[in-house]
Structure formats: C-alpha cells, structure tokens
Structure 1
Amino acid sequence: MSNKLSEVQTRMTGVHGLESVVGAMRGIAAARSREARSHLDGIQACARMVGAAIGDALVLAGRHALSTSANASAGGALTIILGAEQGFVGTFNEHVIDAAVSSASASPTEYFMVGDRGNVAAAERGLNIGWSAPMVTHADEVPALADRLANALYERLEAGCSAQVKIVHAVPNSSATIEVSQQMLLPFDFDRLSITPGRDAPLVTLAPQRLLERLAQEYVFVQLCEAIMLSFAAENEARMRAMIAARTNVHNTLERLAGNFRQLRQEEITSEIVELSAGTLAAAEGRRKPRLRPISR
C-alpha cells in the first residue's frame, strides 16, 4: 500500500510540474499575440501611405498606361502558405493548408511554405514546395522574413515561372475556430486604389511607369508584413487555446490522482486500525486465560 501511495504522490508532483509549464507557455503565447497585434496599426498605416502614393502616381501614368496586368495563362501559379513554426497549435497548419489546396488553380501550382511545422504537414500532403523558411518567433523579425520572401518571389517572377501569386494565412479570431484569409498579390490590382479627383500630379524624377512598379513592389512588401504578422498572432492564439485545453486536462488529472490518493490513504489507515484492533484483542484474550496451578502430591 505504501508503494502505491508513493507512486501516486510522484505522479501528482509530475503533473504539478506540467501545470507550471502549461501556464508559462500560455503566458508567452498571450504576450506574443498582444505584441503582434500592437504592430498591425503601424503596418496598416504604412499600407495606406503607399496606396496614396500609388494613387498620386496614377495621375501621372493614367490607368491606360499600366502594363503590370500579366497574362495569367503565361505561367503557373504560386501560393504562399504561412504555417506555424512551433507545435501545440492543434489543427492550425492543417486548416491553412487545406484552404490553400482547395482554392488552387487548374494550372500547375508551386508552393512557398513558411513555418517548420507547417512545412512538415505540407510535405506529408505531397505539395510541390519550391521554397521554405522558418516562421518568425518574435514580432520584430517580421520585416526580415518579408524581405526574404519578396526576394524569392521576384526571382520566380523574373524567371517566368509564375504569373499569379496568392498568399494564404490564418488571422486572429476570438472564437475557437481557425479563420483563414486568402489574398491575391500579383498581378497587382491597381483598380482597388483610388485616384483623388482634381489633385495635381506630383513632381517626380522617375518615369511614371517605373515609379508605379517600385511603389507596387513596396505595397506587396507591406502586404507580406501584414500577412506574416496576422499569421504570427493567430498561431499564438491557437497555442493559447491549446494550453487552455491542456490546463483543463491537467486539472482533471490532478483531481483524479487526488481522489486515488485519498482512497489509498483511507485504505491504509483502515488496514492499520484493523491490525491494531486485532493486536489489542489478542493481548486481551491472553490476559483473560486462567493460569493452571501445579498439582501437589
């Protein structure tokens, strides 16, 4: 019985340690999610500024002069998937990859995969992964990853391998479900950016077409930054939900072990009482037995 009690106590100690780890992971995930969300306003403000600059440049070039509407049938499609870098995110990667595959075009599709855990899940699905990189683990790493991703993307475009580029990623969601966003990056859609009527054309030193190309590249870079930041926040929110579920399981395990411990302790106490009672009764019986007197001759 003592061995069983000792074993239960050891397991309870281990589960308490696991509870501390789960709590720490949940706290880290919450802090990183808040940090990512705090950067979104700045990224979106930058996107508005670049969009306004494109609108000004369109006054110079005119929409009829745009030559960035590439022929989608001239090349294949490229899909950027933003997955998770670390584990304990539930079905986060599977949801994002399923959304990317289900919306793939009929033309041959190459995939850029971001996130080591997502990369493993994509390889298991047999996707054609042409480029991969680790996902960020801190919000301040987002611009560097976006720059690497943009460089790899434009290398593919210059080689004529892709004509359409789409990015698929998760977005933060207050509910328990994983919400996935899909956005077309290229060909660049200038029609979504408005021209301010009656506004004077700006003074520039570049040819209008060249200026628009550079501004479009800058806008795509900002879009990549926003998508990575949103995915990073969503990943950590998924980890928070996983840790909350793990904490519930830990508490249930602790309650079960505590119940086993009380039951075993009660059985041990009962056994000791029975042994003491049996010993006391045996001693009392020995005292009550009559002593035999020797027979005198």
Structure 2
Amino acid sequence: MQTLDALQKRIKTTTDLLSVVKTMKSLAAVNIRHFDRAAQSLVQYAEVVEHGWSVLFRSGGVMLPTGKESKAVLLTVGSDQGMCGQFNELAVQAGLKAGEQLEDKGLEVSFWSAGDRIRAMLEDSGKEPKLHFSMPGTLGGVAPIVNDLVGRMAQWKRQGVERFHVVYNGQHEHEGYSPINNRILPLDKTWGERLGADKWPGRCIPQVFIPGDTMFSELFRQHLFIMLYGAIARSMAAENIARLAAMHAAEKNIEDMREELQANFRQTRQNSITEELLDVMAGFEALV
C-alpha cells in the first residue's frame, strides 16, 4: 500500500497534468475556428479566380491539353506534432491508396510529404518522399509553405510532370475529419469547357485586353495557391479536431485516475487513523 505522502504527490501530479490537458483542449478549440475561417475565406476569392478562367476560356485565347499524363506527384499532408490520435495514420493510408490507384493507371508516381510524421510513415511503407515540407505552427506560416510548394510544382511541371494530387484530412460533419484526395492538375479540356459554358453572373461579360498566355499564367498560379492553401488550412483545422478529441479522452481518463487516487488517499488516511486509535487504546489497556 502506498503512503499518504506518495498518494498526495501523485494527486498533485495528476491535477497538474489535468490542467495542462484542459489548456490544450482550449487551444485546440480556438485553432479549429481559426484555421477553418482561413479556409472559408478562400471561397469568395476562388469564385473570382474561377470567373477569370471563365472569361479566358470564353475569349478562346488558350487551348488546354488533352494528352495522357505519364508522371504524377502525390503530396500527403499531415502533422509535425503528436497527440492527435490516428490523424497521420489515416492521411498516410489515404495517400498510399491514391498512389496505388494512379500507378494502376500506368502513371509513375512520386510522393511528397508535408509533416515530419508523414515522412517517417511513408518511408516505413517503402515510399520515400522525393520532397519534404515542414508544417507551419501558425496560420501566418501557411502562405510561405504554399509559395514554396507552388514554386516546386512549377519546376517539376517543366520536367514533364503533369498530374498533381494532394491528400489531406479535412473536416467531416459526422466523423470529425476524414481523408480527402484533391486533383490539382492537370487543368484539362473538360474542365475548361465546363467553366466556359457556365452562366455568367452579370449582364455583361468582361473583355480581355491582355495576352491569353499572360492571363493564363497568373490564373494558373492563383489556382495552385488557392488549392494548396485550402488543403493545408483544412488539414490544420482537422488536426486540431483530432487533438481536441484526444485531449477530451485524456481528460476523462485523468479525472477518473484522480478520483481513484483521492479515494485511495481517504481510505489510507482512515486506516492510518484507525491504527493510531487502536494503538492508543491498546496502550491505555496495558496501563490499566
């Protein structure tokens, strides 16, 4: 049986740990809203860029490719941090499955990773990432990593890679979060025809007074930025959803442990008091 001092120390440690867990829960709840707002803020901007594509295709200034791709890049987004349950495992499983599907179509697939834990898991699965990116800790760090990704994608595209996918965990209404596989490239003819045929929201269609190639280049970069920024922001929101769930479970376990320790403390203290009273009574009887 543990001594009273030992039990008191364990109760104090458990109480301190409970305070840390509650703080992490609060931070996760705040971060979920923070990153989700960032992702939602892109919606209207994405609509503006889509209208730009529509104007470009209506003008007939650019013809999109229809050829078959032979190389693909698959970026799997996860976390640099722990305490988020099966978050990274689900992302890696979805990434490996997406890679198999692309390989079944005859494509040569190169894996990229975002998040140290994702890289380690891909390496363990025999899919060593060709490029790795560290996940930002704050919202302010999302734009720099996205700009780096856009630059790397442009480089690889010039080397003959036409197909790009990003796999990440996004918020899910019923399950908290679930894997999402977004195809970022190619921008093919079917996609362009759909945008060109969409009904224009206003009465007058804008005129294009710049070269089609220049407009395409600008819209292309914005398309990549929107897709990648949204994926990373939504992944970070989902990561905090996973962390909130993990901290909620940890909080319940710690509270149960603390109650058990407090019950043991009370029982041990009662036993100690009883033993002392018995000793006093035994001593009194001996004197009488």
* Aligned match of 1:15: 14
Letter in 2 for 1:215: L
The match for 1:227 among 205, 224, 231 is: 231
Q: How does 1:182-201 map to 2 (within 5 A)?
A: 182-188=181-187, 189-194=191-196, 195-196=198-199, 199-200=204-205
How big is the shift at 1:58? 0.9
Give the TM-score normalised by the residue count of structure 2.
0.90
Please say if 1:272 is aligned against 2:269: no
Letter in 2 for 1:260: N
Q: How does 1:84-163 map to 2 (within 5 A)?
A: 84-104=79-99, 105-106=102-103, 107-160=107-160, 162-163=161-162
Distance change >3 Å, CA 250–CA 109, structure 1 → 2: same
Inter-partner Cα distance in structure 2 for 1:163 and 1:70: 10
Larger deviation, residues 173-182 vs 117-126: 173-182
How big is the shift at 1:70? 4.7
Is the CA contact (8 Å cut-off) linking 1:57 and 1:202 kept in structure 2?
no
Inter-partner Cα distance in structure 2 for 1:240 and 1:192: 40
* Aligned match of 1:66: 63
Distance change >3 Å, CA 272–CA 146, structure 1 → 2: same
Q: Deviations over 1:225-274 (max 9, x none)?
A: 11111111001111111100110110111011111111211111111111
Identity, % of aligned pairs? Answer: 25
Letter in 1 for 2:226: V
Inter-partner Cα distance in structure 2 for 1:48 and 1:246: 41
Is the CA contact (8 Å cut-off) linking 2:91 and 2:168 kept in structure 1?
yes
Which stretches in structure 1 are left out of the alignment for 5+ residues?
Answer: 285-297
Inter-partner Cα distance in structure 2 for 1:24 and 1:228: 24
How big is the shift at 1:68? 3.6
Inter-partner Cα distance in structure 2 for 1:87 and 1:278: 58
Letter in 1 for 2:224: V
Alignment partner of 1:56: what SS? helix
Query: Aligned pair count?
Result: 277
* Aligned match of 1:205: 210
How big is the shift at 1:175? 4.0
Larger deviation, residues 245-254 vs 32-41: 32-41
Inter-partner Cα distance in structure 1 for 2:123 and 2:98: 18
Give the TM-score normalised by the residue count of structure 1.
0.87
Inter-partner Cα distance in structure 1 for 2:279 and 2:79: 60
Q: Deviations over 1:162-201 (max 9, x none)?
A: 2211111111235455311111111113244244468545
Please say if 1:46 is aligned against 2:51: no
Alignment partner of 1:113: what SS? strand
Inter-partner Cα distance in structure 2 for 1:249 and 1:155: 49
Alignment partner of 1:80: what SS? strand
* Aligned match of 2:254: 250
Distance change >3 Å, CA 261–CA 93, structure 1 → 2: same
Inter-partner Cα distance in structure 1 for 2:20 and 2:259: 18
Letter in 2 for 1:56: V
The match for 1:78 among 73, 76, 84 is: 73
Inter-partner Cα distance in structure 1 for 2:31 and 2:168: 17
Which stretches in structure 2 are left out of the alignment for 5+ residues?
Answer: none
Inter-partner Cα distance in structure 1 for 2:123 and 2:44: 36
Letter in 2 for 1:164: R
How big is the shift at 1:215? 1.0
Distance change >3 Å, CA 205–CA 176, structure 1 → 2: closer
